[in-house]
A and B are shown apart, each in its own frame.
Chain A
Amino acid sequence: MKKMTFLLLIASLILLSACSSNSEKAATTTDSGKKEITVWAWDPNFNIAALKLAKDRYVAKHPDVNVNIVEYAQNDIVQKMNAGLNSGSTKGLPNVVLIEDYRAQNFLQAYPDSFHDMSSSIKASDFADYKIGPTSYNGKQYGVPFDSGVMGLYVRTDYLEQAGYKVADLTNIDWDKFIEIGKAVKQKTGKDMLTQDPNDLGLIRGMIQSAGSWYLKEDGKTPNLAGNTALKEALLTYKSLFDANIVKMNADWSQFLAAFNSGAVASVPTGNWITPSIKAEASQSGKWAVVPFPKLKNVPESVNASSLGGSSWYVLNSDGQDTAADFLKETFGSDPELYQDMLSKIGIVGSLNAASSGKAYDEADPYFGGDKVFKKFAEWTKQVPKVNYGLHTYAIEDIMTVEIQNYLNGKDVDAVLKDAQGQAEAQLK
């Protein structure tokens, strides 16, 4: 009897310890002598598709390396990375991970020794200028800039024509003109001009970056809300959109997609990563065009280019980091042909300067009425103003969504910004 209980106890203890040591091996050398690296990313149509192309090209040259691609939702990656890095162990974490630029500084500063310095593998100057701020820290280049996030205004040419406008009328316009056209479209066709999720301030982010401004000052820590002229103008514009009654509300991503796939809205101002989703509705082929992102009227710095939700690749400081760094160096870090491939096969506009011209960029896209949209995006990439996203983009945005609701309900715009500033200062210590 006693022996039995003792055995039971030992067995359970073994089970306990086994649980803790049996975590996934991040990747090093497998039994067959092959080197293996694991990569995490989100969006099967965009990032994962790009990774597969990169993997094929890399493995062809390095048959001794196995690239293991794992798809997770972005939120899951953020959670897993935080939990893993916080525990101080890189077991179970990947070798390469995709991180959104808005969050990059947060990771680089919160876990300073956890990322591999890529300064010797890639040249920062090879990439679009505005991507360097988010991907570097303390003078070292950590990220390999990838998705440019460059914004454009996707428009329905058929609706515009019904309202008496041509694509040229929407090219290089400001937001006031956009609203004016939107009202006419609504009157003639009954369609809203754009769709917005009140919880997602992406449009405001796009507007302020077009003027080289951000929620935070240059240091990336001090809130820059009260007295931020670009932000104030963006809010005024945002309210005018709602006041003009040309906004269809949506509550989440799938409703956002449904709004334009079903033909309920006449334009989509957003990042170029939406291209595959727009083209997903084959019946609308030839009805879409892409024009530059509108600028803010009363802010002289504002240009007709911006970026939204770009992302970059990072290598973790763990076993296999040299292989991982080499993988990025040879693919996303330097291979213009890979970028041509990504463009023609998936429609990805990267941020490697050397890759911003070439045959694929000259290809006309019948979906967009035979327009060379990629060439346009590549050109806009060069004009996007550089800003420091800093540490607190999403924290400030949650403060702003509340204040913007108040603002839409009649609160004074200066009071809105002042209150938001006060809250942000109290909260972001």
Chain B
Amino acid sequence: MKTAAPKMTTTRLKAGMTGWLFISIAVIMIAAFYFYPMIQALILSFKTGTGSNLTFNGIDNYKRLFTDKMFITAVKNTFIYLIFQVPLMVILALFISVLLNDKNLKFKGFFRTAIFLPCITSLVAYSVVFKYLFSADGLVNSLLLNLHVIGTPIQWITDPFWAKVTIIIAITWRWTGYNMIFYLSGLQNIDSSIYEAARIDGASPIRQFFNITVPLLKPIILFTSITSTIGTLQLFDEIMNITKGGPGNATSSISQYIYNLSFKYSSDFGYAATVSYSIVIMIIILSIIQFKVAGEKK
């Protein structure tokens, strides 16, 4: 290697240059459209004022986070969605994918498509449909009334508790199919001889599920739970279109609060940037925890 070095330098340099030229486009694009705005937003998060009248105020915005009741409510709501919805969806997706992976199942393609379809629908469109399904005199209530499950219509959207339930149902409907696809592809990579061996050893299907399927899908479960966590922390469209954060902030999310700070209230872009960075920090912390708890040891 060492002796060949002088001869290699020019060609290697040339090759290196060409390589750099190719990735330079991507680098410039990423720097201009990702890193520059991120740094600008970080600087903005230390400023305060309305609209374009901004002044530096140090870490006051970050201190304000801890005393801001609306922010705390939004964080609480977001974590309620997280705690209930992510496990619910992961388990449901896992369950469905195992069912759909059954070799003897007919119309497999149809079921897979049907369950995957929700996640290619537009966020706004499905939110609006959900709002009507769950309105006081909507389809869900009339169904439940006709089946005599309930006596009076449930105030799905205008009651603080039920509004949260509606949001959870909505996001579960929208994203379960998406996670299911990951599990299905994971399941197809598990050698069927493992199950065969287990069957011969007399392991029940439930035992097979917990002792073979789940451990072998662990990396995928980790991946889906991290992406779902990030997605839930950034939850916006559903809240904005179904409940607008109401009744009385009962369903507000952090992203929706950022929108309100920027456009509904008095255009406090500095503080809105601070709240955005709080999401970044939360995502980092949660991802580290998830990696520590479920991650593969290297």
Contacts and interface: CB of A to CB of B under 8 A. Distances in A.
Interface of A: 1-2, 5-6, 8-9, 12-13, 16, 75, 78-79, 82, 85-86, 88, 106-107, 109-112, 197-199, 249-252, 255, 391-392, 394-395, 398-399, 401-406, 423, 426-429
B266 to A, nearest CB: 5
B135 interface: yes
A249 B247 CA distance: 11
A406 B247 CA distance: 11
A427 B68 contact: yes
A5 B263 CA distance: 44
B248 A198 contact: yes
A423 B158 CA distance: 23
B135 A255 contact: yes
B52 interface: yes
Contacts of A86: 51-52, 267, 269
A427 B155 contact: no
Contact of B248 (A9, A82, A401): A401
A8 B50 contact: no
A360 to B, nearest CB: 36
A394 B265 contact: yes
A427 B275 CA distance: 14
B136 A111 contact: no
Given A82-B263, A251-B136, A110 B51 contact: yes
A299 to B, nearest CB: 25
B69 A423 contact: yes
A110 B157 CA distance: 35
A427 B66 CA distance: 12
A112 B49 CA distance: 13
Given A8-B25, A110-B267, A252 B158 contact: no
A406 B53 CA distance: 36
Nearest to A395: B265
Interface of B: 18, 21-22, 24-25, 28-29, 32, 48, 50-53, 67-70, 73, 131, 135-136, 155, 157-158, 160, 243-250, 260, 262-267, 269
Given A82-B51, A427-B68, A251 B263 contact: no
B248 A110 contact: no
A411 to B, nearest CB: 12
A199 B264 contact: no
Contacts of A111: 51-52
Contacts of A88: 52
A391 B50 contact: yes
A404 B265 CA distance: 19
Nearest to B260: A398
Contacts of A199: 243-248
Contact of B53 (A16, A107, A110): A110
B24 A9 contact: yes
A16 B264 CA distance: 32
16 contacts: A1-B18, A16-B28, A78-B263, A82-B51, A82-B267, A85-B51, A106-B267, A109-B50, A199-B248, A249-B136, A250-B136, A251-B136, A251-B157, A401-B247, A403-B248, A405-B250
A423 B249 CA distance: 14
A391 B266 contact: yes
Contact of A429 (B48, B52, B160): B48
A424 to B, nearest CB: 10
Contact of A251 (B29, B68, B135, B262): B135
B52 A110 contact: yes
A398 B265 CA distance: 9
B247 A6 contact: no
Given A198-B246, A199-B247, A398-B249, A110 B266 contact: yes
A394 B67 contact: no
